Amino acid sequence: MSENQYAVLRVITHRDAAPIRVTAHAAPPARLSRAHTKAGAWQAVADLQSKPVSRGISKPPGIKEIAFALSLSIGTVDRALHGRAGINAATKARILEAAAAMEYRPNLAARQLKLNRHLQVGIYLPQHIRSFFEPLREGIRAAAAAVHGIQVKLTFHDYPRLGSSDLAVMKGDAAAHYDAVILSPGNPKKIAAALKRLAQQNTAVVCVATDAPDSPRIASVAIDARMSGGLAAELLGCTLPGPGSVAVLTGDLQTEDHLLKQRGFEATCAALHPSLKLLPAVQTHDQPREAYQATLRLMRKRPRPGGLYVSTANSLPVLEALREAGLLGKIQIVTTDLYGELVPFLRSGDVLATLDQRPFMQGKAAFEAVAAFLLRAETPPAPTRLAPHIIMRSNLPLSRDEPTMHDDFES
């Protein structure tokens, strides 16, 4: 591409690589001759292959880029793409062919938003596990407050727990017609049809905390669940003396986040600590009483497991059961998330480590994906996975200023 040309295209840099947005900008050029041939236009496309690649969120090709590539006016391209009169058939066919080659996608929701100048977002999150979902909500609010030049209205909807009654709440709110929806899909298969309907209504859907990978969501923000499970397995494997058994207490293996943590734990145990025997996963459905009773049953097994990984924030009932059984401090435990009630267990060493899922940052990133898509016509990377933070007794003081902490954090 010459120095005075610019374009935004989607290319493949390697046969097996994921598509990468390429942005090459320079000063806008003088208009090319209308006699510029189609072959010449595609030569400009080919020239981009040798330009540096910028990864991440970038603006997809739009009407201006198509118009420049074909040396046509923006009005002519606009008429062709939107089926308006005033354009001959040959030119229209040429424009549509170019749009397809450049993978142009009209952002219908963003177009409507420009007319209304306000953004309405519905958020569907569980009431349960406040230590995780409340800072996640705070992250959404913080990101929305940072948006300027447009009115943002957030409507929060609660349901009892992950994967329970979320579909009923969404159906009851079907007439709301949000520009975007942020939700945590506890059971992706159960809400698949609802997510498809939202996409058909041009409602942007962003999954947070867990994912519905086969849905038409525009983005997904969560912790790297496989990494979390792998870290837990490595921590336990490095601290347990010799062969023994370990167990995972999770929520529900129908939830993508919980399933991937389990797989990450299993894979790391097999690869790095094959002498450890992994007991079957215990699903507690994020119910405190169920987690408490399941822990007591585990402790009655012979031989008793020497290590536990609690892969959700539902760890307090597990710790209380161990205290009642007189085993607190005698079993290595890795928990999930950081909240005030967990701090004394970390300080005492009764909990080896906790893997903070950074819920505030998850909520913030989820809303930022909505804003990027609807306000700036940028395609967010899907999925976005955050690295978990390992918190142990030695680095606990450094975590006091994290936005995930609550007012009940003890000094």
pLDDT tens-place values along the chain, 411 residues long = 433 333 333 333 333 334 333 333 333 333 333 334 444 444 444 443 334 433 344 556 778 889 888 999 888 987 888 777 788 989 989 998 888 888 776 655 555 555 456 899 999 999 988 999 999 999 999 999 999 878 899 999 999 888 888 888 888 777 678 999 999 999 999 999 999 999 888 899 999 999 999 999 999 999 999 999 999 999 999 999 888 999 999 999 999 999 999 999 999 999 999 999 999 999 999 899 999 999 999 999 888 999 999 999 999 999 999 999 999 999 999 999 999 999 999 999 999 999 999 999 999 999 999 999 998 888 887 799 999 999 999 999 987 544 444 433 333
Q: What is the pLDDT of residue 100?
A: 84
Q: Tokens 């596990």 correspond to what residue?
A: 129
Q: CA–CA separation, 263 vs 26, rounded Å?
A: 47
Backbone angle region of 128, left / alpha / beta, with phi > 0 → left and psi within -120 to 50 → alpha: beta
Helix (H, G, I), strand (E, B) or coil at 188: coil
So what's the pLDDT on residue 376?
81
Q: Is residue 121 part of a domain?
A: yes
pLDDT of residue 78: 79
CATH code, 328:
3.40.50.2300
Provide the domain limits for residue 210: 111-223+360-386
Neighbour-count burial for 59-95, b at 16+ CB within 10 Å, e otherwise: ebbbbebbbbbbbbeeebbbbbbeeeeebeeeebebb
Whether 391 and 358 have beta carbons less than 8 Å apart is answered as: no
SS3 annotation, 288-347: HHHHHHHHHHHHCCCCCCCEEEECCCCCHHHHHHHHHCCCCCCCEEEEECCCHHHHHHHH
d(CA 291, CA 294): 5
What one-character DSSP code corresponds to residue 6?
-
What length does the chain have? 411
Asked, for residue 411, whether it belongs to a domain, the answer is no
Same domain flag for 150 and 189: yes
Q: Count how many domains the chain has.
A: 3
Q: 189 and 272 in one domain? A: no
- C-alpha to C-alpha distance for 262 and 256, rounded to whole angstroms: 10
Q: What is the DSSP letter of 376?
A: S
Q: Are residues 194 and 281 in the same domain?
A: no
Per-residue confidence (pLDDT) for residue 110, from 0 to 100: 52
Same domain, 269 and 394: yes
Contact 385, 357 (CB under 8 A): no
Tokens of 313: 């924030």
Task: Please identify which residue in the block is written with the tokens 């967990």.
Answer: 342
Helix (H, G, I), strand (E, B) or coil at 78: helix
Bridge partner list, 278: 246
Question: In a 3-state reduction of DSSP, which class is residue 45?
Answer: helix
Q: Are 379 and 324 in a shared domain?
A: no
- Are residue 62 and residue 142 in the same domain, yes or no? no
Q: Is residue 42 located within the same domain as residue 95? A: yes
Determine the distance from the C-alpha atom of residue 163 to the mean position of all C-alpha atoms in its chain, rounded to a whole number. 17
Do 237 and 126 share a structural domain? Answer: no
Residues 168, 283 within the same domain: no
Q: What is the pLDDT of residue 115?
A: 45
Q: What are phi and psi for residue 40, nearest 5 degrees?
A: -65, -35
